[in-house]
Structure 1
Amino acid sequence: MVTIADLGHGVRAAVTERHGGTSVPPYDSLNLGLGTGDDRETVLANRRLAAEDLGFPADRIVWMNQVHSADVLVAKVPGGVGTCDGVVTTRSDLVLASLAADCLPVLAADGERGVLGAAHSGRSGTGHGIAGNLVATMVDHGARPEHITVFLGPAICGSCYEVPPELQAETARRTPEAASTTRRGTTGVDMVAAVTAQLRRAGVTDIRADGRCTLESPELFSHRGGAPTGRFASFVWRV
């Protein structure tokens, strides 16, 4: 199963779920993340299955080596773009991917100008402004903030994401909207609220969200829900 969103001007975003692949427990079954401990060939087979289901070849996908940074790179060819947590392209044939299992996928497009972006916004990346960096890089390559549409994928919600007070303060230093209180009354981080605020400050007004909490949604992988676990992918591409 996948969730597909129309971002306009022939651009689509999609989020995969955990079922429909070939991985065995605890990665069952559509694990798309290498480096999780799952069998490499199985993950590559899953990536082909996911791409086929969405209607594009797997060899068009751009993958990031995600490290919880605020760095953004520009993709000119498919495959591994390098170590970063944001990627931008102006090529119409590339599919950008972001992997997650609680962190927030950010999928962005200025369809009129043909500029696409994808980011992986974890707690650290959120605190250091990866979403704003993504928009800035898109603008450097011809996008206009007011014409960018962003789709936020599933992530652990602010009511579930409990962190120590010092980590909450660190994350909320630049973006106060990151601070939340969990259902247990403890300090937390709300990555969706923080990234939404960052995008608005960058001039983006069309912001849409999947809305699901990965910890509360059994169809999605969640690191906090049961590590080791797999990764779902969020994609953005031109049809």
Structure 2
Amino acid sequence: MTTITIGRVGMAFTDRHGGVSAGPYGSRNLGGAVGDDPAAVAENRAKTAAELGLDRVVFMRQVHGADVAYVTEPFGAEPPALDGVFTDRPGLALAVLVADCAPVLLADPVAGLVGGAHSGRPGTEAGVVPALVAAMTAGGAEPARMVAAIGPAACGRCYEVPAELRERVAARVPETWSDTRWGTPALDLRAGIAAQLRRAGVADVRHDDRCTIETPDLYSYRRERDTGRFAGYVWTRT
């Protein structure tokens, strides 16, 4: 697990080790909709929260969209369809589940606002990260004060896509245009998200630039298909 501390703000990116899940989900799978034993997922989530010193964690029902919401407590058994959340409640952690998509964590330590976005190919194209920055700004944050962390994701040299898809996404986010190491069309989500953040006024952008496809310690849907999900967490300490 990788952690970042910025004043009272905590951020973390988990990996696939240290949990109780078996089989292709081994072992710290935090995703509840991938076919794993629900009891194992619940234990992994509780164990991770305890290791990070967290009591309450918000998990979304991620749908590859651009809808974001302000939250004050964890959702119940059926979370709404969202790909971004933010809060000003100390001690309430926000989690973003991924396995090739980018987990993007945001914080304005002065305003006490933190947010998290699930930015895969559809979400990056739709602008979920700029939408989250805008929502947090409307809630009292200032982009110039924000710190962003883009977690592990499929890199621009591995994320192969059809040429037509590359052209369509790059028409919206030009910085995503890339080629694989073997010369075929690809998308660079990290470069695209970083550019979106800069255009939104967020200058302090930090990276855990591991490629999920190339890193066995992380889950990768493209590499494994049947697999779990790791997470990015962000919170303000009480």
1:148 is aligned to 146
**How far apart in 1 are the matches of 2:91 and 2:53?**
13
Q: Give secondary structure in 1 for the equivalent of 2:172.
A: coil
Paired residues for 1:188-203 under 5 Å: 188-203=186-201
Shift in Å, 1:9: 2.7
- Look up the match of 1:17: 15
1:107-118 aligned at under 5 Å gives the runs 107-118=105-116
Deviations 1:151-182 (A, max 9, x none): 11000000000000111122112110011011
Q: Which runs of 5+ in 1 are unaligned?
A: none
Find the aligned partners of 1:88 and 1:166 in 2 and give their Cα distance. 34
Counterpart code for 1:77: E
3-state secondary structure, aligned to 2:105: strand
- CA-CA distance at 1:93 after TM superposition: 2.3
2:75 and 2:16 mapped to 1: Cα distance? 22
* TM-score (normalizing by structure 1): 0.96
Q: Whole-Å Cα distance in 2 between the matches of residues 158 and 49 of structure 1? A: 33
Equivalent residue for 1:34, pick from 27, 32, 35? 32
1:122 is aligned to 2:120? yes
Residue correspondences, number: 235
1:69 aligned residue (32, 41, 65): 65
Paired position in structure 1 for 2:227: 229
In 2, Cα distance between the equivalents of 1:148 and 1:159?
A: 29
What whole-Å deviation, never above 9, does each CA across 1:83-125 have from its counterpart, x for those lacking one?
1101011111210000000000000000100111100000000
User: RMSD between aligned alpha carbons?
Assistant: 0.9
- Structure 1 counterpart of 2:96, which letter? S
Letter of the 1:64 counterpart: M
Runs of 4+ aligned residues of structure 1 deviating over 4 Å after TM superposition are none
Deviation, structure 1 residue 140: 0.7
Within the alignment, does 1:3 sit opposite 2:2 as a pair? yes
**Superposition deviation, residue 206 in structure 1:** 0.3
Unaligned runs of 5+ in 2: none
Amino acid at match of 2:177: A
Rounded to whole Å, the distance in 1 between the matches of 2:13 and 2:20 is: 18
TM-aligned CA deviation for residue 56 of structure 1 = 1.3
TM (norm. structure 2) is 0.97
**1:159–1:182 Cα contact (<8 Å) kept:** yes
Q: Which amino acid aligns with 1:67?
A: V
User: Could you tell me the percent identity over the aligned residues?
Assistant: 50
